[in-house]
Amino acid sequence: MTTIRDLAKSCGVSVATVSRAFSPDGKINAATRERILKKAAELQYVPNTIARSLRSRRTGSVGILVPEITNSFYYTVIRQMGILYREKGYHLVIAFCQNDVLPERDMIEKMAACRVDALIFSPGSRESERTLHRCFPKGNVLQLFRKSYEEYPSLIIDDIGGTAEATEYLIARGHRRILYCGEPLRSPGYTGTMKRHGLPTEGLFFPDPFLTEEKAAALLTEARPTAVLAIATCSGKIISALQRLGLRVPEEISLIAYDDVEWTGMLGITTVSHPLDRIAAGSAELLLDGLDGERRLPAEHRMISPFLTVRSSVCDLCGKG
């Protein structure tokens, strides 16, 4: 196995120069770096990142705790973040946490044991407060999509605003009986908009993300809505229920899904979408810039607005006689 000393001797440079060549912020002549990297490829040299991290107390890694392993939205966001973070010299360490199986505080401790430089997570409460304070400095934590701690920076989505925009879109197209299936936290955008237009929500309001196909079919049969607004995890069940009931989208019922994932685009579903590039860039600005430069004090909190991606799943009732 080729060592750093072997590579340095082959290139006629010092070990320190080789080390700088493999460091993103290492001060070294561009031509020299290129020559060293080319020779390293020829000799199949692999840098000892463990030894480097022990010296620098940095691993170039960022831990992400994912709260919903079945939610494809998290995969979509993490993929976008992974591309940007890699460009900035960091790699992502991804772990799943679920309080009844893998408690958040335990996973925070495991991330700290892995020596990640920073942590990104979506706290549901402050239950991990002591563990978080013990394991990570304030500037090395980012709350993503949910905010429970004022002392740590956060990047969240205006989900209430996104739900309100989707509801307004359906109302503007003549829909009056709109079924809502989704998270309670997003529901004020729906209930507030319906109330403002003097429209009923009784029998049409199902603020529970754990919707089954059977329950979806029952809701559609009992409520007889002209349109449905559902988060992505519910909209899949809604589509299955519609197929079971023989209802066509959008000819017989309209549908908007909250979260633009791969299958919604394939099926032509209008969605409430998130600006993935802004999420990735915003997280990097709030977290990585603090690691590489001065800490932002006090903690900065940002909100990003979602937007509608209009496709072919909403029928315009206003144009019908």
- Of the candidates 205, 200, 255, 248, which has an alpha carbon nearest to the alpha carbon of residue 227? 255
Q: pLDDT digits over 127-156, tens only?
A: 899 999 999 988 899 999 999 999 999 999
Helix (H, G, I), strand (E, B), or coil: what is residue 40? helix
Specify the 3-state DSSP secondary structure of 315.
coil
Residue with tokens 């993490």: 78
- Percent of the chain past pLDDT 70, that is, above it, reads 91
3-state secondary structure of 131: helix
CA atoms within 13 A on the CB side of 90: 24
Record the tokens describing residue 171, joined without a space. 């109302």
- Strand pairing class (307-309; 270-273): antiparallel
Q: Would the pLDDT of 99 be above 60?
A: yes
Could you tell me the domains of the chain? 4-47 (1.10.260.40), 61-158+276-305 (3.40.50.2300), 159-274+309-319 (3.40.50.2300)
Q: What was the pLDDT predicted at 139?
A: 85
pLDDT at 178 (0 to 100): 98
312 pLDDT tier (thresholds 50, 70, 90): very high
Rg (CA), the chain: 25
Confidence check: pLDDT of 47 > 80: no
How far apart, in whole angstroms, are the C-alpha atoms of residue 316 and residue 175?
8
| pLDDT at residue number 36 | 87
pTM above 0.75, yes or no: yes
